[in-house]
Amino acid sequence: MGVRKNAAKASPKKISTTLKYLFDMDGNGGSPFDHGRQVSESEEVLSIISYCTFVFTFINPNESPSQQDLKRLKLVQLLSIVKTWKIPPGDQILKPLMEMIAANLFRPLPPPSFCVTISDLLDDEDPTSSPSPQWSHLQLVYDILLRIVLNMDPKILKGYIDQPFLSNLLSLFQSEDPRECESLKNVYHKIYSRFTFHRAFMRKSMNDVFLRFAFETERHCGIADLLEIWGSIINGFTLPLKEEHKVFLMKVLIPLHRPKSMQVYHRQLTYCVSQFVQKEPALGGAVLRGILKYWPMSNCQKEVLFIRELEELVDNVDPEQYKKVAVPICTQITKCFNSWNSQVAERALYIWNNEAFVQMASQAIEEVFAVVIGGMEKNLSWHWSRSVRQLTENVKEMLVEMEPVLYAKCLQELEAKESADHHEEIKRQERWERIEMQAAKNQFLRSRSICVVSHS
């Protein structure tokens, strides 16, 4: 009987505690079964993250292909879980998740294996293409990171996506796998777009990469991708442009015309520069003079790119700048259509079909004609290419029609100058002949005196 009494006393207490627990759980919007399921799901996610933290190299013969496939399946599962998160996970999941992402992505990369000049590249050749064997895993890790960046509040991620994280991410642009660079570009751009408090640091970090590439190494696989990001950033600049952005244009973008491998990223570079000039046409004069400063001297393919970019910029430059840049630009174009490389010469002559270029030249017509007419006459007399001579004749007809009196005057001055130069050359040769004759006479007298002394 005593045992029954004790049991009867204990029973209400147990029921009361259980009911209170149930009411508490109901008040918190859940049930003990939901709580247990949440704990179980969290443990499952942590287990998946723990397994995915191990990095396979795909070149070690001791690694098991089945384990590599299992990791890929777990990454797919983890990506699916991240996509379905309606509320942000707590630190107990977010911390190991970001550590897993860092362990997989932030790895030592070999130095870029290419060092190309423009002449080494074919039209559709990508010098940076070198697929990574780890891509089957890396692709999913990038997708997970991108989903986290897009779906979660930057303030929550601020403690994880910090400056060291961004520096490590930026270093991955050295990867020679174009697929990784594409994914990396998307992630880095989305971070710049959403994490506004990191923008200044990210711009400075990218600028450091550009400057080191332009003036030190000339080796980097991700310059084109970084310039694509910058193209989007510049597109969002408001007017008037900040001084910081103008400095970036003149001190960073313009020097990127210097490296030999500029063809790899020239399209993206041209877009960035033209965006600045379109937003603030008054910058056009300084930009054009900056490009002339880095004009290639012995790289014909690069010269063709420069001429094309010059033509695009002239279309957007402020007409008030025309008079300042007309003479230096036309002087350089004249050197180009005098080039023995027919592609350079033809491209430089075609620029005269551009209305904006002709309008610019007309702002300093006397100085321009004095330079251009000499180059054209030289082409008509000496150039080996028939097509170049024909194009030169077409440009000459256009200029004669534009300013017949001035053209005739400049041609007379050119002929007079050539005649004077010819007479000066004749005088110079005569002086050298007299010097040589006197030297020969002195040598003869010296040898004769030596002979007389020896006989005596």
Residues in the chain, total? 456
Q: Mean pLDDT, to the nearest integer, of 161-166?
A: 95
Higher pLDDT: 99 or 410? It is: 99
Question: What type of residue sits at position 299?
Answer: N
pLDDT over 80 at 362, yes or no:
yes
The per-residue pLDDT for range 317-335, each reduced to its tens digit, is 888 888 899 999 999 999 9
pLDDT at position 360 over 60: yes
Among 20-34, 172-186, 238-252, 255-269, name the one with the lowest average pLDDT: 20-34
pLDDT digits (tens, 9 = 90+) for 403-434: 888 888 878 777 767 667 777 888 888 888 88
Backbone angles phi, psi at 299, to 5 degrees: -120, 100
pLDDT of residue 391: 94
Largest CA distance in the chain: 162
In this model, does residue 347 exceed pLDDT 90?
Answer: yes
d(CA 216, CA 76): 41
Residue 338's nearest CA partner among 395, 419, 287, 288 is 395
pLDDT at 91: 87
Q: What is the pLDDT of residue 13?
A: 40
Three-class secondary structure of residue 238 per DSSP: coil
Question: How far apart, in Å, are the Cα atoms of 434 and each of 76, 431, 437, 440, 445?
Answer: 91, 5, 5, 10, 16
* pLDDT for res 112: 66
* pTM to 2 decimal places: 0.79
Q: What is the pLDDT of residue 113?
A: 62
Beta strands in 248-379 (DSSP E): none
Rounded-to-integer distance, Cα 359 and Cα 330, Å: 12
User: Per-residue confidence at 25, pLDDT binned at 50, 70, 90?
Assistant: very low
List of residues 6+ apart from 237 with CB closer than 8 A: 245, 279
- What lies within 8 Å, CB to CB, of 395 at 6+ separation is 349, 352, 376
What average pLDDT does the chain have? 84
Distance CA 128, CA 317 (A): 34
Alpha-carbon distance of 270 to 313, in angstroms, equals 9
Whether the pLDDT of residue 349 is over 90: the answer is: yes
Whether the link from the prior residue into 328 is cis, omega within 30° of 0, is no
pLDDT band at 62 (very low <50, low <70, confident <90, very high): confident
Burial environment of residue 215 by CB neighbours within 10 A (0 to 12, 13 to 18, 19 or more): exposed
| Mean pLDDT, residues 71-78 | 92
Determine the Cα–Cα distance for residues 358 and 351; give it in Å rounded to an integer. 9
More confident residue, 64 or 119: 64
How far apart are alpha carbons 258 and 296 in whole angstroms? 8
Q: What angle separates helix 178-194 from helix 163-171, to the nearest 10 degrees?
A: 150
Could you read off the pLDDT of 187-209 as tens digits, one per residue? Answer: 999 999 999 999 999 999 999 99
Q: Collapse the DSSP code of 185 into the 3-class scheme (helix H, G, I; strand E, B; otherwise coil) and give the result.
A: helix
Above 80 in pLDDT, residue 111?
Answer: no
Report pLDDT for 263: 92
Handedness of CA 301, 307, 311, 316 (dihedral sign): positive
Residue 154 identity: P
**What is the per-residue pLDDT across 30-60, written as a single tens digit (0 to 9) for each?**
444 444 455 677 888 899 999 999 988 888 7
